Structure 1
């Protein structure tokens, strides 16, 4: 709160104050008051006026400075009344009380809105679980009757199954910490599950898969990691190069600090201008626009889940040559492993 702006805001009060002084001065002259008395009265008059202004300024400055600073620091600015001391001047009390009522109303609205969103998420999650049952049955029936079912129907059902998974994990990613279970998992087994799930697509697209030096363990959630790897493998299949012997290679490197899992493919690659944005929500990039196959949500969910699990992920690529996705599993002495389960020390 600047004193110059405060004084400028008091211009009407100052004018009235000066007019009053000149009226008093005129009356003193009219009644032939001695000069010494006029000077003394004038000094007291101005001293009292300045004191009143300064006192009022100091009282208000303390409140408004705190109000401004707390508002700037808060992320949820509607909670600022909770951080303020009740002021000791009437104008401030009015502002404080009304801010409190506004904040209370806003908090109630936010709470109601948050509850409605959570209810909707729970309903969608339940609905996806129900929908996945007939989808899984269709996938199984198609697999058992390949000779009698057109391949295009099988592909569409698999796409539907994958999109249902994406919706489910997208919803859960907002509160993943309530769902995941950290355990010691074996990478080669998780990779094996992902490859079995995508076996038909890999065979159909004639993609050779190699798993090298992945017989190591990491601390994570097997279910979430399987979904993450499944999305990466699906992308490798989706963006393979034509007229090329396609490969997907899994490799793992381990040191004292972390385990690095790399998934390499020799597909169409990613343009350099898209590399920094592939994890952005709904970003399809040049490849997605060309093929009209991408929703731009898969890698966004993958990045979000990795962040929740405490893993790091990045992508390297050379256009029309290769792509490598790296996932880094950190090691932390803060945790210890008992019978495969992770507990805090």
Structure 2
């Protein structure tokens, strides 16, 4: 709060004071009071008014400077009322009371919104669990009655299942830590499950699925990691099937402090301009625009889950040559001691 701004704000009271002093002097002169007495009286008035003016200014300056400093310092600026002392001057008290009521109203609205979102997510999760049963039944029927169901119909059913599962993991992603269990799992077993799940896509598109040197144990949640692998391999299948001699290769390497798994394909690759954004929410890029139904959510969810699990995911690509996705699993010595 600058002094000049405060003076401008109090300009009316300053003018009124000066006018009052002028009237007093005129009255004193009319009554022919001594000149020295007039001067002394004006000096006393000026001193008293200056003390009141400056005291009022510094009280407000201290309060508002502290207020704006705390607002800039806080990550959650709406908590600023908890960090300042209630002012002694009336307009400051009114301001704090108004701010308190605004905060209270905002908190009530936020709580109502959070409740609505929570209820909606719970409904979505319930609906997904309900819909997965008939989808699983249709897939089983298609497997058991191949003479009745077309193979392409089976593949479309599996796509529906995959998209429904993606919705479930996205809905749960915000509170993933409440659902996962970090234990030691064999990468080879998880990858075998993913290969089995995607075998129809791989066979239909004649994609060579190569797995090398992945018999390592990592600390993870098998269900969440399976979903991450499924999203990456699903993308590889989608963007590799048009190539000649397509392949997807998964290889691993073990180090003293980490284990790295690389998923590589020889698909259409990713343009250099898109690489930095591939993990952004709903980003489809130039390749996604060619794929009419791309959502841009798969890698975003995979990245979010990796972060929550303590894994890292990186991607590199050369357009029309290859795409490599690298997953890094950090080894935890504390787990080895207490297990």
Asked if Structure 1 and Structure 2 have the same fold, meaning a TM-score greater than 0.5 normalized by the shorter chain, the answer is yes
**Partner residue of 1:205?**
205
1:92-136 CA distances to partner (integer Å, 9 max, x unpaired)?
Answer: 111111111111111111111101110110111011011101111
| Aligned-pair CA distance for 1:81 | 2.4
**In structure 2, what is the equivalent of residue 104 of structure 1?**
104
1:1-345, aligned counterparts within 5 Å? 1-336=1-336, 338-339=338-339
State the secondary structure of the residue aligned to 2:175.
helix
| CA 79–231 in structure 1, closer or farther in 2 if over 3 Å, else same | same
- Give unpaired runs (5+ residues) of structure 2: none
Counterpart-to-counterpart distance in 1, 2:255 and 2:37: 91
Report the CA distance between 1:75 and its aligned residue.
4.0
Contact 1:208/1:248 (<8 A) preserved: yes
2:205–2:241: 8 Å Cα contact kept in structure 1?
no
Secondary structure of the corresponding residue to residue 8 of structure 2: helix
Query: Compared with structure 1, are the counterparts of its residues 187 and 285 closer, same or farther at alpha carbon in structure 2 (3 Å cutoff)?
Result: same
SS state at 2:174 partner:
helix
Tell me by how many angstroms 1:206 deviates.
Answer: 1.3
Matched-pair contact (CA < 8 Å) for 1:78–1:106? no
Moved more, 309-318 or 247-256: 247-256
Q: Deviations over 1:207-255 (max 9, x none)?
A: 1122222111211111100000001111111111535111111112232
- Cα distance in 1 for partners of 2:331, 2:45 equals 75
Over 3 Å counting, the alpha-carbon distance change for 1:338 and 1:140 in structure 2 is farther
Q: Could you state the TM-score of these two structures normalised by the residue count of structure 1? A: 0.94
Q: TM-score, normalised by structure 2?
A: 0.95
Which digits, 9 at most, give the CA deviation of each residue in 1:129-172, with x for residues without a partner? 11101111111211222233112211211110011000000001
> Residue by residue, what CA displacement relative to the aligned partner does 1:30-56 show, whole Å, maximum 9, x if unpaired?
222223222222222111111111110
Q: CA deviation at 1:76?
A: 3.8
Q: Distance in 2 between matches of 1:106 and 1:322?
A: 50
What is the CA RMSD across the aligned residues, in angstroms?
Answer: 1.6
Secondary structure (helix, strand or coil) at the match of 1:251 reads strand
Are the equivalent residues in 2 in contact too, given 1:81–1:103 (CA < 8 A)? no
CA contact (8 A) 2:314 2:327 kept: yes
Q: Distance in 2 between matches of 1:188 and 1:336?
A: 20
Structure 1, unaligned stretches of length 5 or more? 340-345
Q: 1:327 to 1:71 in 2, by over 3 A?
A: same
Deviates more, 1:68-77 or 1:154-163: 68-77
User: How many equivalent residue pairs?
Assistant: 339
C-alpha separation in 1, matches of 2:337 and 2:135? 37
For residues 239 and 337 of structure 1, do their structure 2 counterparts lie closer, same or farther at Cα, with a shift above 3 Å needed? Answer: farther
**8 A contact 1:261–1:328 mirrored in 2:** yes
Cα distance, 1:313–1:147 mapped onto 2, change above 3 Å: same
Q: In the aligned structure 1, how far is the partner of 2:55 from the partner of 2:181?
A: 60
